Amino acid sequence: MRWIALGAITACVSAAAATLSTPPNPPSQLGVAEIVARNVSARGGQEAWRRIETMVWSGHVAGARGSASAMPFALELRRPNKTRFEITAIDQRFTRIFDGVQGWRLRPGRSGGPEVKPFSQEEANYARDEFVIDGPLIDYQAKGVAVTLAGVDEIEGRKAYLLNVRLPSGAERRVWIDAQTFLEVRVDRPSTSPLIKGSAVSVFYRNYQSIEGLQIPLTIESRSAPGAPIERVVIDKVSLNPTLPDFAFAKPGTPRQRHAIVRVGGESQQQPSMAGRPSP
């Protein structure tokens, strides 16, 4: 749920809602393999996550001004790292698409038609690194992910294991696992924004709920720096294994993409036609 992977979704959040019993061993006595195994189990189990090939989130993004600036969004995910994110702001739709190799951003243009721009190098690299359905810890060895234990930390007054995660590309993440619930409570990742290039974005996860046996956080908050505005993502609905057509993740401007039916906030809408416009 890293949406991760999309600049609009990030977080600065409280601990998980579900409270499990204190682990039998003191936090410092657990190794990486056991911490990850308990995390996978707490999230619903490896086999259950392996059965998920597609996922759709719909909800709203609330900025620093709260509900007054809430913006509906829909996020479609397909293994291993295809994404389509759509958000509506002031009656205008903004879209980000990643087909597994390349990505594009669509926004309303001055001429009335959509303006299409490719992902920046940082955005493309980040999107290629993401395991959008289940994250890097499930099946981490098979995925070529290296995980080491950096120590025991404290997040919002609760003990948490701090894991250093190295992805196959060499990119690094820092992941905090709550010492009681064994659910992720925080992830630090690099920013993809050219305005804060090289800085870290802290993402916190809260309000975990069981969705068909899987533990999924329904509130995600993010902050790019201390004192920076917080963006809060509230997930109202999660769909597991819905049918997602190939053209939903295709390059904008292709014939099938021009007539794609897209969903924003749970409602179907017709994709604006790009007929007559050159493919970007």
Domain of 147, CATH number, reads 2.50.20.10
Residue 96 has a CB neighbour count (10 Å cut-off) of 22
Chain segment 92-143, per-residue pLDDT in tens? 899 999 999 999 999 988 877 789 999 998 899 999 999 999 999 999 999 9
Closest CA to 87 of 264, 267, 249, 274: 264
Q: Does residue 4 belong to any structural domain of this protein?
A: no
Measured distance CA(115)–CA(105) in Å, rounded: 8
Residue 132 structural domain: 27-270
Q: Does residue 2 belong to any structural domain of this protein?
A: no
Residues 221 and 66: beta-carbon distance below 8 Å: no
Helix ranges (DSSP H) in the chain: 32-42, 46-50, 121-129
Measured distance CA(93)–CA(85) in Å, rounded: 10
Top pLDDT among 5 and 122 is at 122
The whole-chain average pLDDT of the chain stands at 81
Chain segment 200-229, per-residue pLDDT in tens? 889 999 999 999 999 999 999 998 777 777
Q: Does residue 7 belong to any structural domain of this protein?
A: no
Q: Which tokens hold the place of 150?
A: 């950096």
Q: Does residue 14 belong to any structural domain of this protein?
A: no
Q: Does residue 277 belong to any structural domain of this protein?
A: no
Residues 15 and 186: beta-carbon distance below 8 Å: no
Residues in CB range of 47: below 8 A, 6 or more apart: none
Q: Does residue 15 belong to any structural domain of this protein?
A: no
- The structure's pTM equals 0.79
Residues 110 and 274: beta-carbon distance below 8 Å: no
Measured distance CA(2)–CA(171) in Å, rounded: 15
Least confident range from 51-55, 159-163, 183-187, 222-226: namely: 222-226
Map tokens 């959040």 to a residue.
Answer: 13
Q: Does residue 3 belong to any structural domain of this protein?
A: no
Chain segment 176-208, per-residue pLDDT in tens? 999 999 999 999 988 766 555 567 889 999 999
Domains: count for the chain:
1
CA pseudo-torsion sign 184, 187, 192, 196? positive
Measured distance CA(113)–CA(274) in Å, rounded: 7
Measured distance CA(125)–CA(51) in Å, rounded: 26
Q: Does residue 116 belong to any structural domain of this protein?
A: yes
